[in-house]
Structure 1
């Protein structure tokens, strides 16, 4: 036998660089303008509709440009999670070297949970901008991943008037990657399969789902213990992931690209491209649609994005509240993977009611449960509902300090754009 036939190939291992870990800790509380654009930059009827449909939402408030004219909003509005698809790039002064984010090259990143606060709707014609920063950085050791870094990032999104639309805190788990390490924890998980009768039962859930819509849900009509009904999502397919991306989830700055654009992207972020079984460099992100690659790192199949399940959770809420309500906040956790083939049912119940000033608030608990009986994405939410006594649901007030930062960044971006057009230095 030749040497190449008898020598075992060493597994490729990606570990944290200590300077990256320390830099992440040093950047807590530092905000920077988002200078990458997402797939979309300005809300239009088509964009709002396509994004809603990308995760299976047909609420006419989001998908019909005429329907909203007869509601309190006076027009079509965007679904709550539009922030993951819609951001225009800001121009900003160069980031000082000591404030640049660590690259964490070769490190797996999992979204484990988010907390989102919504302050005002996004309308046709609105342009959204964003700034972000690290809010918290913690180190952890686990049996599954070894050393990991838990990073909470805050994303503040605002419109062309520097009005904060929403804030989102995203908890990400950064883990070391050992390409050949066997994950015994997941060996017992078998891919899901279904009989025709089982698919028919899932279809019954879909057939019974309803959008509350114009049938106003008032605060006085809600009682603690009320259930939110049942919603189905899945079984998850590769097609679902493709539709989710094509509907707007751009995943900047790692946007899936092809041909020459993929080549250019590979020159920019080479470590993000890992050869597939044919030796072709392909994005590590393919773990969301390439089950063969997922199995190569010890998982039983490709799995969804945490942000997809946040879209599902918000969809469940907006179907329930009706046209006049407003989802103020939602906090979710991603406790388990959602693999290709998995079906999820969403359920929830009212756990509290309260009045804060002129706002009539309802607290709910909700969750997505897989066919294994595992709650993979528990969540809580606070909803503002209209009162029969006072009328419209009152929206919360955005943080003043964030609107000040937004106004400053938007002003500076405008100065830099004007200088760029004129060929001068701002």
Structure 2
């Protein structure tokens, strides 16, 4: 047997250096093609349905191959948030050699978690759409406190394109980097007790599930909503390992690290050995298992395994689309995770309309959302802008990216197509 804590200590001695931050600054504003191949590269009837199921979404617009044919979209469509987990490798010019050399081994061994981010959407994803993208670091900030020591906040911006070179989405991910040893020292005396539920507790949760459901084909018109309107409640959980498995089965691949088995897992260990740490049986396994292995999560400083930040982002999106109906379009979503969502925890989602206005896309509403766990703690906050159909103005008009963004996307995609043609010759 192997002591997981000992393996943790061996694997997590890395600390920040002044050089790390300065080298990271060299990456700001440098956009390069995303080379990762996600589990889903091209949307299909099945991949869209499986993603929705992995999120817990039963909307037939996403899960039924034919339902969407009678909607304004004329087809099954994907939830906009699916753009986050899709991607084929994009070809393009590499990062300049001097920057690549300077960034090699940057922040090795440092613990990274996603604390939130934002998405803007411009086009729906339809069956047959193939998504590629490019990305770069947008900002970096160093924070110091007596409680948490040194941490680095990085914002990475990515642009997703379809096979026509159209911008589908622009995503920003906020990553928090901290020294794992310090994280463990902060969390070793945690007093958070594991969640437990009585039959009455479960009935409370299941009563909300029984009332949930997508609005569907009944349009929610802009004229019929008001500032201050509450959205109906939604619940997610209690969180189990099964939910994590379902999310991965829905297409979340965690590229470029990923989950592999047998010989492919061996090859992954050769490629990124620092990502693998022995479990209590002496078997090298992914550091990522803190999302389902509570003993490993405890070694890293948490009382038990916890969810992915991107899971909660998809849950908030599900909340919005259930309320808005088939004819609406989520233009923007921003979210911030303030507390962990541990195994056994339940998230109760609530929201309200904070603003109602007219834009080039027609009538839109701004919505504030939050998640509260069974301990009464507010764990997640979100805002969104949703375009609704109008009784007077008609259907929602899809937004257009900034001209400068469209030009950059056109250049990147043209280079991609040029290199694809060269490969085929």
TM exceeds 0.5? yes
Match of 1:87 in 2: 87
Question: CA–CA distance in 1 between the matches of 2:145 and 2:122?
Answer: 37
Question: CA–CA distance in 2 between the matches of 1:75 and 1:192?
Answer: 42
Question: CA–CA distance in 1 between the matches of 2:374 and 2:135?
Answer: 36
CA contact (8 A) 1:179 1:296 kept: no
CA contact (8 A) 1:224 1:352 kept: yes
- 1:15-54 map, 5 Å: 15-54=15-54
TM-score (norm. length: structure 1):
0.94
TM-score (norm. length: structure 2):
0.94
CA contact (8 A) 1:145 1:176 kept: no
CA contact (8 A) 2:122 2:331 kept: yes
| Matched positions, count | 415
Question: CA–CA distance in 1 between the matches of 2:169 and 2:374?
Answer: 33
Question: CA–CA distance in 2 between the matches of 1:9 and 1:277?
Answer: 9
> Given the superposition, is the C-alpha separation of residues 181 and 44 from structure 1 closer, same or farther in structure 2, using an over 3 Å criterion?
closer
2:372 to 369, 373, 392: 369
2:317 matches 1:314: yes
Residue aligned with 1:402, SS: helix
Match of 1:162 in 2: 165
Question: CA–CA distance in 1 between the matches of 2:8 and 2:353?
Answer: 54
1:351 to 347, 350, 354: 354
Question: CA–CA distance in 1 between the matches of 2:173 and 2:391?
Answer: 36
> Given the superposition, is the C-alpha separation of residues 129 and 180 from structure 1 closer, same or farther in structure 2, using an over 3 Å criterion?
closer
- Displaced runs of 4+ in structure 1, greater than 4 A? 8-11
Q: In the TM superposition, what is the alpha-carbon distance from 1:174 to its structure 2 partner? A: 0.7
Question: CA–CA distance in 2 between the matches of 1:18 and 1:266?
Answer: 29
2:99 matches 1:96: no
- 1:145-294 map, 5 Å: 145-178=148-181, 181-184=184-187, 187-294=190-297
Question: CA–CA distance in 2 between the matches of 1:397 and 1:19?
Answer: 40
Question: CA–CA distance in 2 between the matches of 1:357 and 1:40?
Answer: 33
* Superposition RMSD in Å: 1.8
| Structure 2 residue runs without a partner (length 5+) | 1-5
Match of 1:64 in 2: 64
- 1:331-342 map, 5 Å: 331-342=334-345
CA contact (8 A) 2:361 2:399 kept: no
Residue aligned with 2:405, SS: helix
> Given the superposition, is the C-alpha separation of residues 417 and 194 from structure 1 closer, same or farther in structure 2, using an over 3 Å criterion?
same
CA contact (8 A) 2:84 2:171 kept: no
CA contact (8 A) 2:7 2:277 kept: no
| Structure 1 residue runs without a partner (length 5+) | 1-7
